[in-house]
Amino acid sequence: MTTPPIVELYGVTKSFGAFTVLNDIDLKIADGEILTLLGPSGCGKTTLMRIVAGFEQSTHGRVLLRGVDVSNQPPERRPVNMVFQRYALFPHLDVFDNVAFGLRLKKKSKSEIKKTVTHMLELVQLGEYANRWITELSGGQAQRVALARALVNEPSVLLLDEPLAALDLKIRHHMLAELKRIHVETGTTFIYVTHDQDEATILSDRIVLMNKGAIEQIGTPEEMYARPQSLFCAKFLGETNILSGSVISAEGDTTYVDIGAGAAKVAMNGVPVGSQVSLAVRPEAIRLDKVREVAGKENFNFVDGVIQDVVFMGSRVVYNIRTPINLIKYQETRPVHGISLERGDEVRASWAADAAVLLTH
Amino acid sequence: MTDVKDLLPFGTANILNNDVLSRRSFMGSALALGAGAALGSFTGFSPAKAAVGGDLKIMAWEGFTLENELKAWREKNGVQVDAAIISTQDDVHSKFIGGGAVRLDLAEYSQGFERFYVDELKIVKPIDIAKVPNFTPENIQPQFYQAPTWYFEGEYHAIPWVWGLNALVYNPKMTKPIKSYKDLLAPEMKGKLTFCDDTIATWPMIARLAGFGPKFPNLTKDEMKTAFEGLGPYRDQCRVFASSNGDTISLFASGEIAACFSVWSGTPVETAKRGVETVYAVPEEGAVMWCDAWFMPKTSVNTDTAHAFMNQAISPEVQAAVCKAVTGGSVNKHAPALMDADTKALFNYADLPEVFRKSPLQGQPPRTSDKYATYDEWTQAWADFKSSF
Amino acid sequence: MAADAVDRKKIVGAALAAPTFLFLLVFFLIPTGLLFVYSFWLAKSFALIPALSLDNYTRALSSWGFYALTLSGLKNGFWTAAFSVVLSFPAAYYIVYRTRGNLLFYIILVSWFSSYLVRIYAWRVILGSNGLINTTLIQLGLISQPLEILLFSPFATILTLVHIMLPFTLLLLVSSLRDVKAEYIEAAKDLGASQFEVFRKVILPMSYKGLVGAFMFTFVLAAGDYVTPQFLGGRDGMTTGIMISNQFRSSGNWPFGAAMAFLLLATFLVVYFLFVQLLNLLKLAPGRRFHD
Domains along chain C?
79-243 (1.10.3720.10)
Q: Does domain A239-291+299-359 have CATH number 2.40.50.100?
A: yes
Single-letter code of the amino acid located at B149: T
Domain with CATH 2.40.50.100 in chain A: 239-291+299-359
Share above pLDDT 90 across residues of chain A, in percent, rounded to a whole number = 51
Q: Are B80 and B55 in contact (CB under 8 A)?
A: yes
Q: What is the pLDDT of residues A240-259, one digit of tens each?
A: 888 888 888 888 888 888 88
Q: Which of C56, C118, C235, C247 to mutate to test the interface with B (most CBs of B within 10 A)?
A: C235
Q: What does chain B come to in residues? A: 389
Q: Which of A82, A93, A147, A149 to mutate to test the interface with C (most CBs of C within 10 A)?
A: A93
Q: What is the pLDDT of residues A220-238, one digit of tens each?
A: 999 999 899 999 999 998 8
Distance CA B129, CA B46 (A): 13
Question: What pLDDT, on the 0 to 100 scale, is given for residue B9?
Answer: 34
The contacts of residue A238 (CB under 8 Å, 6+ apart) are A197, A225, A282
**Which CATH fold topology does A7-234 show?**
Rossmann fold (3.40.50)
CA distance C55 to chain A (A): 48
From B340, B167, B348, select the one nearest B259 (Cα to Cα): B167
| Interchain contact A92–C (C-beta under 8 A) | yes
| Interchain contact B46–C (C-beta under 8 A) | no
Chains B and A touch (3+ CB pairs under 8 A): no
Please tell me which of the candidates B97, B247, B383 has its beta carbon nearest to residue C246.
B383
Distance CA C175, CA C89 (A): 11
pLDDT at residue A218 greater than cutoff 90? yes
Contact C183 A113 (CB under 8 A): no
Contact C128 B243 (CB under 8 A): no
Distance CA B93, CA B89 (A): 7
Q: Considering Cα of B314, then B319, then B325, then B326, what sign does the dihedral take?
A: positive
Which residue ranges in chain B fall short of pLDDT 70?
1-50, 97-100, 388-389
Residues of chain C with Cβ-Cβ distance to A89 below 8 Å are 187
| Interchain contact A331–C (C-beta under 8 A) | no
Question: What pLDDT, on the 0 to 100 scale, is given for residue A151?
Answer: 93
Question: What pLDDT, on the 0 to 100 scale, is given for residue B3?
Answer: 38
From residue C243, alpha-carbon distances to A205, B379, C35, C72, C247 in Å are: 79, 10, 16, 13, 6
Contact A94 C194 (CB under 8 A): no
Q: Which of B86, B87, B241, B378 to mutate to test the interface with C (most CBs of C within 10 A)?
A: B241
Could you give phi then psi for residue A175, rounded to 5 degrees?
A: -65, -35
| Interchain contact C44–B (C-beta under 8 A) | yes
| Interchain contact B180–C (C-beta under 8 A) | no
Residues of chain A with Cβ-Cβ distance to C280 below 8 Å are none
CB count in 10 Å sphere of residue C87: 15
Beta bridge partners of A264: A257
Question: What pLDDT, on the 0 to 100 scale, is given for residue A261?
Answer: 73
Q: Are C120 and C232 in contact (CB under 8 A)?
A: yes
The contacts of residue A87 (CB under 8 Å, 6+ apart) are A142, A143, A145, A146
Please tell me which of the candidates A92, A104, A131 has its beta carbon nearest to residue C287.
A92
Q: What is the pLDDT of residues A68-107, one digit of tens each?
A: 999 999 999 999 999 999 899 999 999 999 999 999 999 9
Q: Domains in chain B, ordered, with CATH?
A: 4-163+291-358 (3.40.190.10), 165-288 (3.40.190.10)
Residue C127 parent element (H or E)? helix C116-127
CA distance C238 to chain A (A): 42
| Interchain contact C235–B (C-beta under 8 A) | yes
Q: Are C60 and C259 in contact (CB under 8 A)?
A: yes
Mean pLDDT in consecutive groups of 10 residues from the start of chain C, 292 residues: 75 90 93 92 78 88 86 92 93 86 82 85 88 89 84 91 92 90 93 92 87 90 89 86 81 86 92 85 74 74
Distance CA A99, CA A119 (A): 11
Contact C148 B239 (CB under 8 A): yes
| Interchain contact B241–C (C-beta under 8 A) | yes
pTM value?
0.73
| Interchain contact B11–C (C-beta under 8 A) | no
CB count in 10 Å sphere of residue C125: 13
Question: What pLDDT, on the 0 to 100 scale, is given for residue B389?
Answer: 52
The contacts of residue C140 (CB under 8 Å, 6+ apart) are none
CA distance A191 to chain C (A): 15
Distance CA C208, CA C27 (A): 31
Please tell me which of the candidates B7, B16, B255 has its beta carbon nearest to residue C47.
B7
Domain with CATH 3.40.50.300 in chain A: 7-234
